[in-house]
Each structure stands twice: as C-alpha cells, then as structure tokens.
C-alpha cells in the first residue's frame, strides 16, 4: 500500500469557546476551557463529499503556589473524536505536570516537567476508501521528562496581559 498526503478542497470549523479562571484560594489558581464546534472537510476529488462531525476539547490548568515560592502546575486535556480526510480520529486524554522553583530573587529558575504522565495520549485513526481500510494506532514513548534552567541577566518584567500572568512552563 502506498500512503501519501494531499491538499483538500476546504475545511471549516465553527463553534464556541468557553473559558473560566478562578482563584480558588490564595495558593491555588484554576483555569478550565472548552471548545465545542462543528468541523467539516470537503474533498474535491470525491465530488464534493463532506466529512462532518460535532466535536469538542477540554483543557485544564491548575497551579498551586507554595509559601516558599515553588509552583506546581497540573495540565490535563481531552480532545474529542473527530473526522479526517478519509475517516475518523478517536478522542484522547493526556496530562502534563510541571514544577518551578525560583532562586536569587527570581533571577534563576529551575523547571522540571513531565509530559503525558499516564502514557495515555494514543492517537487512533481509521481511513477507508475504495478497496481499502486502514486502522492506525500510534503513541510516543512516554512519559517524557524535561528540565530547564534559566537565568535573567536584567530585571525586565513582561507586562501583564488582561491582568493575568502566564506561567512560563505551560504547555498550551
């Protein structure tokens, strides 16, 4: 079997995004967002055949700040099932965790991150057409660990956006 990629005629997504931020406690910030939308793909060589679905995704970001300055961030997400050019993609869940510690008046920071903590991000696709059916399942080796160290030479601070600071180790 020969498999290749091809441009499509048109794809469209129309939907609604809802996001909420809550400072549950002085030490806990919680953000949840969801997208609910209709997604469609039109293939030109299939005489305008449309593959269409209603789907969604949900993401969370829970940040805990400890009294000694350590921040723990937990970031779960779920992408709902959807269509692709010749079939479907199943939904999948993943969760990431990051820990950040600042030193020397926030000039030096150390971040440790674990991506796909539960090894649950498995991508399952099916494709079918005239005389073929393909089922594929793939995932990367996980969890994936990362560490970063940064040192600020000057005291420049990013301006706040909409009154919120974004965590530097956020995966979104």
Q: How far apart are CA 116 and CA 96, in angstroms?
A: 5
pLDDT at residue 160, rounded to an integer: 67
Give the 3-state secondary structure of 24-78: EECCEEEEEEEEEEEEEEEEHHHCCEEEEEEEEEEEEEEEEECCCCCEEEEEEEE
Averaged in consecutive runs of 10 residues, what is the pLDDT profile of the chain (172 residues)? 66 92 93 94 67 92 92 96 87 95 87 93 86 87 92 72 54 48
User: How distant, in Å, are the alpha carbons of 22, 71, 124 from that of 117?
Assistant: 24, 18, 19
pLDDT at residue 73, rounded to an integer: 96
pLDDT at residue 16, rounded to an integer: 95
Q: How far apart are CA 61 and CA 74, in angstroms?
A: 6
């Amino acid at each position: 079997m020969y498999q290749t990629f091809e441009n499509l005629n048109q794809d469209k997504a129309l939907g609604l995004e809802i996001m909420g931020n809550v400072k549950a406690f002085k030490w806990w910030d919680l953000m949840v967002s969801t997208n609910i939308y209709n997604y469609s793909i039109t293939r030109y060589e299939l005489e305008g055949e449309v593959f269409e679905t209603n789907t969604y995704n949900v993401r969370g970001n829970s940040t805990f700040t400890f009294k000694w300055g350590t921040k723990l961030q937990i970031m779960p997400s779920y992408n709902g099932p959807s269509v692709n050019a010749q079939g479907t993609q199943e939904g999948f869940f993943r969760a990431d965790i990051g820990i950040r510690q600042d030193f020397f008046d926030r000039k030096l920071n150390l971040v440790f991150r674990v991506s796909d903590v539960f090894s649950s991000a498995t991508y399952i696709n099916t494709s079918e057409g005239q005389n073929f059916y393909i089922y594929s399942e793939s995932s990367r080796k996980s969890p994936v660990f990362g560490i970063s160290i940064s040192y600020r030479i000057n005291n420049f601070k990013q301006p706040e956006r909409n009154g919120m600071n974004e965590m530097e180790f956020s995966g979104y």
